[in-house]
Chains A and B, each alone.
Chain A
């Protein structure tokens, strides 16, 4: 047990990161306070707010194809975003300490180019770069890329694992310089299942040695990949029970790779709603959910699970009595988060709907929300601390529902309370993202 007893000085520190709300229905774009999702000023405001709050890193998702539904562009949520690494390079100019994390696909990129871009960001930011490794399986996304097509599920992670290992070979390939002087490139050669490449890497070893590697994804392959190769896991397991089970499972896999539990930080993506009283916070939370998921959006989400046209159903009525299509209409199930076994999901949602007497619309609201911390600033601070104290998480990736001001209130009202409890830093102790996360500098191999 790594957690200190309550009140002891050895309290475990909470790690916090900020996620720029993406193109799903997190954002309440219709709110009058909502601003551009593409203007640099929006990214600058959120990143600087997170840095003012002494967060570990600022996190961007990736888009490789706009979402479509029934063959048409999805138009009900925020659409459009910039390319992550380019925005983060610019943010390096207007921030000083906060880590800068980009989601980049290991399916539709090549190791030499991406290792070079990440090393460049690490140099340009003075050691603040991170890479959230994701994979893609769908031919839908592949239609925008040279390599086209897709990888089958098993191959996605073998490619990702080899991709990360290859990038690390490249980052390690420069000879060390003497007395702080720059070293020089040494030839590398990598030959594997997915990549056979050789040459000299063009960029000096990054300040962090290796930019921080984040992994998102929850399949058994994903957990194993995280245990073997990641520094941070971005998970959706936000409830206390799920969080503890996930935490124990993933941390338990580390020893096999010669790693210690503290070498991998587990950070669920969570939302939060604050209020001056518990009742006010609950009221706000309900209102936000209602505005995030419109009746049309609920029907569309359900069509993606069922894989069939459900436009004849009433959002205020019950869930459809027909079963999901085992061979679904491809235009309904692509370009969106994978939903898993459709029949199982449908059964689960029906059970919930029956048990709570929820309409179709209410069921979607209830099932598609992620873990949310709702309450007064003091209550939210206590909940966050409890998660970390009891091994349900090492910290959190906060997803505000407003761009760009959605983090202001958290930084102003919750961060000071966490600091008072002694579970959050009062200043950045180090300069690099690795130092914020308490991760060791990776040893140079070869």
Chain B
């Protein structure tokens, strides 16, 4: 490729939300995910929570998986009222059914209303719930490693289906729960499905820098996004991670109903803050300019875009904004790889147990 992005900038990553409140069948979700795939987007997200109306997000994206071929599928799965063992098994299974395209947005349930749906525990402060979410993300990754990649041997001569020395009890003891392991699901195709955390709020950042592959930050200016990215990368380094293994995406709500009109005046053409996050309102061409300039400035590795009117805005995003970015050589025109990790340029994680195989009893 001759049109390379500016030096020191990695490839641009794009993701979109496909939330459709009130939709109760698969067809509209399939349609949006296929549209996103047509634009070669890295992944689509689908939010979830127990107190809001709508179908189970992981089930929806599992239904979408065979109807798509390349786009990453990232449902929200909450950690407050769910069983960590079930959560990791379901996300690993999404990775199996999608041939390595699964991700997981970690979130917590903070309200008394959500707690009453389960009747097991009272609502708790956000920071405590996020500490627990970190433990769930931690044990999930341990369980994804609890089978080494080559544990299944089918050795007819000895009658052994697996090499049990390559299956591991995780013996996880957290503050809120414990899990013995191993997982029931063999290690998923990506090793670890991609973990996504909205790292805008301070109390989520510890989880993001330790366990996330993709951090989202809702920032209304490139300066704010860039500062958040620098902070996350520095803290990831301090936590012992290679910061190049963390993608930071700027999260914007987009309203492309303005057609070819310029971006909303009075905000320098950029998004303006709302309760739902920074809102960009304007045309697809101006959005392409914004994306290109933020990315060039090093503010973010890419963007997560939440359309206010999913069908209309995603269509304009793909056929307008994305086409233009592709035309300028700033965004891929096809998927060079097959898995979500490959789209994001993230390495397949080594298995923590295999690395210590020599020390195991």
Q: Identify the A interface with B (CB < 8 A).
A: 29-30, 38-40, 44, 63-66, 72-83, 85-87, 89-90, 92-94, 108-110, 112-113, 116-117, 119-121, 123-124, 126, 143-146, 148, 182, 185, 195-200, 202-204, 294, 296-297
B83 — which chain A residues lie within 8 A by C-beta? 108-109, 145-146
CA distance A195 to B117 in the complex (A): 10
| Contact partner, A73, options B25, B26, B81, B162, Cβ 8 Å | B162
A82 — which chain B residues lie within 8 A by C-beta? 89, 92-93, 96-97, 185
A200 — which chain B residues lie within 8 A by C-beta? 51
CA distance A124 to B181 in the complex (A): 31
A72 — which chain B residues lie within 8 A by C-beta? 164
A112-B118, A144-B179 as given contacts; A73 in contact with B164, CB under 8 Å: yes
B26 A38 Cβ-Cβ under 8 A: no
Contact sample, A vs B, 22 pairs, CB 8 Å cutoff:
A40-B97, A65-B180, A75-B163, A82-B89, A82-B97, A83-B185, A85-B90, A86-B90, A89-B62, A90-B62, A93-B26, A113-B50, A120-B59, A121-B59, A123-B25, A123-B26, A124-B63, A144-B179, A195-B119, A199-B51, A199-B117, A203-B54
A40-B96, A296-B159 as given contacts; A203 in contact with B53, CB under 8 Å: yes
Tell me whether B178 is interfacial, beta carbon within 8 Å: yes
A117 B185 Cβ-Cβ under 8 A: no
Pick the interface stretch among B64-72, B323-331, B343-351. Answer: B64-72
| Contact partner, B161, options A77, A90, A117, Cβ 8 Å | A77
A73 B167 Cβ-Cβ under 8 A: yes
B179 — which chain A residues lie within 8 A by C-beta? 143-145
Q: Identify the B interface with A (CB < 8 A).
A: 22, 24-26, 30, 50-56, 58-60, 62-67, 81-86, 89-90, 92-94, 96-99, 113-114, 116-120, 147, 152, 154, 156, 159-164, 167, 176-182, 184-186
A109 B86 Cβ-Cβ under 8 A: yes
CA distance A116 to B49 in the complex (A): 11
A83 B93 Cβ-Cβ under 8 A: yes
**Extra 8 A-B pairs, beta carbons < 8 Å, given A85-B90, A185-B53:** A30-B159, A75-B162, A82-B89, A82-B97, A83-B89, A124-B59, A145-B83, A204-B24
B184 — which chain A residues lie within 8 A by C-beta? 63-66, 80-81, 83
Give the Cβ gap from B148 to chain A, nearest Cβ, in Å. Answer: 12
Among residues of A, the one whose C-beta sits closest to the C-beta of B25 is A123
The 10 closest A-B pairs by CB, nearest first: A89-B62, A143-B180, A86-B93, A120-B56, A63-B184, A90-B97, A73-B164, A93-B66, A82-B93, A83-B89
A89 — which chain B residues lie within 8 A by C-beta? 58-60, 62-63
Give the Cβ gap from A97 to chain B, nearest Cβ, in Å. Answer: 15
A80 B147 Cβ-Cβ under 8 A: yes
CA distance A109 to B85 in the complex (A): 11
A87-B93, A199-B117 as given contacts; A94 in contact with B66, CB under 8 Å: yes
A64 — which chain B residues lie within 8 A by C-beta? 85, 184
A117 — which chain B residues lie within 8 A by C-beta? 56, 59
CA distance A236 to B25 in the complex (A): 36
| Contact partner, A197, options B26, B82, B116, Cβ 8 Å | B116
A66-B167, A93-B26 as given contacts; A144 in contact with B120, CB under 8 Å: no
A76 B159 Cβ-Cβ under 8 A: yes
A44 — which chain B residues lie within 8 A by C-beta? 66
B97 A66 Cβ-Cβ under 8 A: no
A94 — which chain B residues lie within 8 A by C-beta? 66
CA distance A296 to B180 in the complex (A): 27
A80 B152 Cβ-Cβ under 8 A: yes
Give the Cβ gap from B29 to chain A, nearest Cβ, in Å. Answer: 9
B25 A126 Cβ-Cβ under 8 A: yes
CA distance A29 to B159 in the complex (A): 10
Among residues of B, the one whose C-beta sits closest to the C-beta of A143 is B180
A113 B118 Cβ-Cβ under 8 A: yes
A116 B50 Cβ-Cβ under 8 A: yes
Among residues of A, the one whose C-beta sits closest to the C-beta of B180 is A143
B118 A110 Cβ-Cβ under 8 A: yes
Among residues of B, the one whose C-beta sits closest to the C-beta of A195 is B119
A30-B154, A66-B184, A76-B159 as given contacts; A120 in contact with B97, CB under 8 Å: no
B182 A66 Cβ-Cβ under 8 A: yes
B92 — which chain A residues lie within 8 A by C-beta? 82-83
CA distance A119 to B24 in the complex (A): 10
CA distance A329 to B60 in the complex (A): 44
CA distance A124 to B160 in the complex (A): 39
A81 — which chain B residues lie within 8 A by C-beta? 184-185
A148 B178 Cβ-Cβ under 8 A: yes
B97 A86 Cβ-Cβ under 8 A: yes
| Contact partner, B94, options A39, A86, A112, Cβ 8 Å | A86
A66-B167, A76-B160 as given contacts; A93 in contact with B64, CB under 8 Å: yes
Give the Cβ gap from A88 to chain B, nearest Cβ, in Å. Answer: 8
CA distance A125 to B163 in the complex (A): 37
| Contact partner, A90, options B65, B167, B177, Cβ 8 Å | B65
CA distance A63 to B54 in the complex (A): 28
A148 — which chain B residues lie within 8 A by C-beta? 178
CA distance A105 to B52 in the complex (A): 25
Interface-centre pick from B162, B164, B177, B184 (highest chain A CB count, 10 A) = B184
CA distance A124 to B25 in the complex (A): 5
Among residues of A, the one whose C-beta sits closest to the C-beta of B156 is A30
Give the Cβ gap from B116 to chain A, nearest Cβ, in Å. Answer: 5
A75 B118 Cβ-Cβ under 8 A: no
CA distance A203 to B119 in the complex (A): 19
Give the Cβ gap from B36 to chain A, nearest Cβ, in Å. Answer: 17
CA distance A112 to B67 in the complex (A): 29
B176 — which chain A residues lie within 8 A by C-beta? 146
Among residues of B, the one whose C-beta sits closest to the C-beta of A190 is B119
